[in-house]
Amino acid sequence: MPSQTPSSAVSADGQDRRKFTSGKVVGLSGELDPTDDDLGVWVERYLDLAVRGVRSAEVTAKISRHLQRLRAWIGSGLGHERVSAITARELAAWRDHLAAAGWQRKDGSAAAMAPATVNNHLAHASALFSWISAHAPAALLPGGDPSKRVEPLRLPAPEVRALNAAQVRTVKNVLDRLESFHQLNGRRHRGGASRGAAAATHRHARPLRDRAIVHTMLGTGLRRAEIAGLDLTQLQPREPEQLRRAKKAKLTGVRGKGRTTRSVFLGRDARTALADYLQHERGGDLAPDSTALFLAASSIAARQPDGRLSPRSINTIVGEIGAIHDLQVVGGDRQLGVLRPHDLRHTFAYLLSQASGHNRAELERRLGHANERYLKLYTNPPEEIAASYVEDL
């Protein structure tokens, strides 16, 4: 599909209009041209002028992916991509399609999308049509913005995922011994360890980094993208010995959702784990332009040039620690199943709520979330605690 040329993103005074989502499209004719009535053209204009360079690379890729799914749905269903033919009925049908079979498994079969994911697609479509309404010739959308008349799906009741006290204890026990689970076990390596040398680990393994990540998430409630986005300069203090001695350390300017920023304090476990990582591991993975606090192993060929971890890699790290945990512990009340980064966030929120006397202002400040629905979710107790409330009633 044709797209707006890069020069259209520059105004007469030299300003880059991609930084201004409300800027008018430069050079559009007042009359409807056949090329104007094309969804692919408008998607590219929107991405070029309102998304790329404004949103993060990860969010830009997601918005583009969602809008391409919309294009595929319209094109396959109508046999064309004319914007003027897109109605609320078409968008509602797309919503229902995503909810029923919008996801493709690895084997190629269709699967339902989660309601929240469907609503995220609708939100990106709504932003696109709002932008088109503001910049397009009047004849392009004679009935107005079609997305305004499409209701999002009802979300199911959120699931509480906070760890109970027994699980927190055994997770921390596994973190204390994490290096031992990455040691090489061949005869040659066992012999070196018996002579007093440090036990060899897999060349991609970074147990001190992984321990620091989990302790930081468990002690601050940071989201996985917030962890991946941290720079070393945000850590105060950042010298290992100062971190170990400090009574108060924090991460400043944490970038959250909605372009918000906040500071979070670090507890003893997080301070100690970060000091160990900075002193013994991080230096070996530095690249010339590395600024990230947590770096991928330099031995991984596919890592980013600056070494920064991706949010998806945080999922992998946390999930692997959860799997190690469940192999190590006995008892159904301690088994985690699948450990997710948000489980650590839920746990922190519940513990912070208890420690602060359910102080809403403190919860909003440290969690970076003011939504009542999610504050209630994050501060709900684990099931065994909730069950104990009615045990003797």
Contacts (Cβ under 8 Å, ≥6 apart) of 39: 70, 71, 74, 75, 81, 82, 83, 86
| Residue 6's pLDDT band (cuts 50, 70, 90) | very low
Among 78-92, 167-181, 245-259, the least confident range: 245-259
Average pLDDT for residues 172-178, to the nearest whole number?
96
Report domain extents, the chain.
Answer: 6-149, 165-388
CATH number corresponding to 165-388: 1.10.443.10
Task: Output the CA–CA distances (angstroms, integers) from residue 148 to 78, 129, 144, 145, 272, in the order listed.
Answer: 21, 9, 9, 6, 51
For the chain, the average pLDDT equals 85
* pLDDT of 391 over the 70 cut: no
pLDDT tens figures, 256-295: 887 788 999 999 999 999 999 999 999 999 999 999 999 9
28: exposed, middle or buried (Cβ count in 10 Å: 0-12, 13-18, 19+): middle
pLDDT tens figures, 142-157: 889 999 999 999 988 7
The pLDDT value recorded for residue 102 is 93
Identity of residue 136: A
Between CA 310 and CA 314 the distance in angstroms is: 7
* pLDDT of 211 over the 60 cut: yes
User: 67 or 386: whose pLDDT is higher?
Assistant: 67
User: 13 or 294: whose pLDDT is higher?
Assistant: 294
Residue 358, both tokens = 């359910």
Give me the phi and psi of 201, to 5 degrees please: -120, 165
User: 344 or 360: whose pLDDT is higher?
Assistant: 344
Q: What is the pTM of this model?
A: 0.66
Give me the phi and psi of 353, to 5 degrees please: -60, -45
